[in-house]
Structure 1
Amino acid sequence: MKIALGGDNNAFKLKGIIKEHLENQGFDIDDYGCHSEDAVDYPDVAYEVAQAISEEKADRGILICGTGIGVSIAANKYPGVRAALAHDVYSAERAQLSNNAQILTMGAQIVGDQVAKKVVDAYLNVEWAEGSKRKVDKIIEQEKQFVSENLQDVVTKGC
């Protein structure tokens, strides 16, 4: 399984720990940064990981910032992407089982290293069984409708 991994400077240390943890398990990792403790805006990294998921360059994504909230909001702006914030094993499992979330987000200032590893493992070790397919389909359809309407506005109004 190919994992798109990214984080801002607040998550630099934890991202490295998660990357090593996943590589030790044999996962193929694409690291979208950041690659130092220099300041990086979390939306930039989140958009890169979301784009990789959207273009099917990775099977799943993991994004980390200080709280996990910022990268979650940013990634969810990318059409077709579902990112879920989880700081515990149960939520991480449900992100995949109930919502078919392609991206897991976490906060480096919220979870410790060992908990983060368990959360990541819980997320990656389950597959969507389409149990909530009707609900996920509603999300997808609403997004398609919104994107379609806005594209029509751009074409019509020239904005």
Structure 2
Amino acid sequence: MNIAIGSDHAGFRYKEAIIEHLKSTGHEVTDFGTYSDASTDYPKFIRPVAEAVAAGKFERGIVLGGSGNGEAIAANRVKGIRCGLCWNLESARLTRLHNDANVLSLGERMMDLPTALQIVDVFLCTPFEGGRHLARIQQLDE
């Protein structure tokens, strides 16, 4: 899968680990930054990820910050993005299964790294269920 990823300084460490994990499992990854843990503003890195996913250049996106809240909000401001803030495996499964989320938001300060990597894997492998959920997603786009 072709994946876009970006973070602010508070998500930088996990972003780097997730990139390594994704590449080791055969995914193509494009890093939209940030490229260090120096303090920065998350919209500079999150919006380009969301825009690239919305434009169809990437199948999925992953955004990270300290809590993941601001990153999810920033991504969801882009038309066509359904970004789910996930904190455990079930939230990751349901954001794909019921919401067809195309971007995942994670908070580095909210979980340990093994959990974050498991959430990424669940997000990437869970299909959209469709059915009754499709009509709800269509309502969002109207």
Q: TM-score range by the shorter chain?
A: over 0.9
Aligned residue for 2:40?
Answer: 40
Unaligned runs of 5+ in 2: none
Aligned residue for 2:84?
Answer: 84
2-side partners of 1:23 and 1:134: how far apart? 35
2-side partners of 1:63 and 1:130: how far apart? 24
Aligned residue for 1:74?
Answer: 74
Aligned residue for 2:139?
Answer: 138
Correspondence list, 1:95-106, <5 A = 95-106=95-106
With structure 1 as the length reference, what TM-score do the two structures score? 0.86
1:52 maps to a residue whose letter is A
Q: CA deviation at 1:44?
A: 1.4
2-side partners of 1:75 and 1:65: how far apart? 12
Report which structure shows greater RCO (CA 8 Å, sep ≥6): 2
Aligned residue for 1:30?
Answer: 30
Match of 1:114, SS state, is helix
2-side partners of 1:57 and 1:41: how far apart? 24
Q: CA deviation at 1:126?
A: 1.1
Aligned residue for 1:123?
Answer: 123
- Which of the two has higher C-alpha Rg? 1
Q: CA deviation at 1:130?
A: 1.0
Match of 1:109, SS state, is helix
2:137 maps to a residue whose letter is V
Match of 1:81, SS state, is coil
2-side partners of 1:67 and 1:30: how far apart? 22
Q: CA deviation at 1:129?
A: 2.6
Q: CA deviation at 1:124?
A: 0.3
1-side partners of 2:45 and 2:100: how far apart? 21
2-side partners of 1:18 and 1:116: how far apart? 8
Q: How many residues matched?
A: 141
Deviations 1:113-142 (A, max 9, x none): 00000100010011113131011111111x
With structure 2 as the length reference, what TM-score do the two structures score? 0.96
2-side partners of 1:37 and 1:90: how far apart? 29
2:139 maps to a residue whose letter is K
Unaligned runs of 5+ in 1: 142-159
2-side partners of 1:81 and 1:12: how far apart? 22
Single out whichever of 112-121 and 31-40 deviates more from structure 2. Answer: 31-40
Aligned residues with identical type, % of pairs? 34
2-side partners of 1:95 and 1:129: how far apart? 10
